[in-house]
Amino acid sequence: MADKAERAIIKKLKANKEAKSGSYEFPLSESGVTATIPKFINHGRWMAAQRLAKGDNAKAQAAFICEVVLFDGEQITITDLSELVPAADTIELLGEIFGDEDAEGNGTEAA
Secondary-structure breakdown of the chain: helix, strand, coil percentages, each rounded to the nearest 5: 55, 10, 35
Is the whole model's pTM more than 0.85, yes or no? no
Coil, strand or helix at 59: helix
**Cβ within 8 Å of residue 5, ≥6 positions away:** none
pLDDT at 102 over 70: no
pLDDT at 76 over 60: yes
The predicted-structure confidence for 18-54, as pLDDT tens digits, reads as follows: 999 999 999 999 999 999 999 999 999 999 999 999 9
pLDDT at 111 over 50: no
What pLDDT shows up at residue 5? Answer: 64
What pLDDT shows up at residue 101? Answer: 64
What pLDDT shows up at residue 44? Answer: 93
Q: Which of 86, 88, 95, 36 is nearest to 66 (CA)?
A: 36
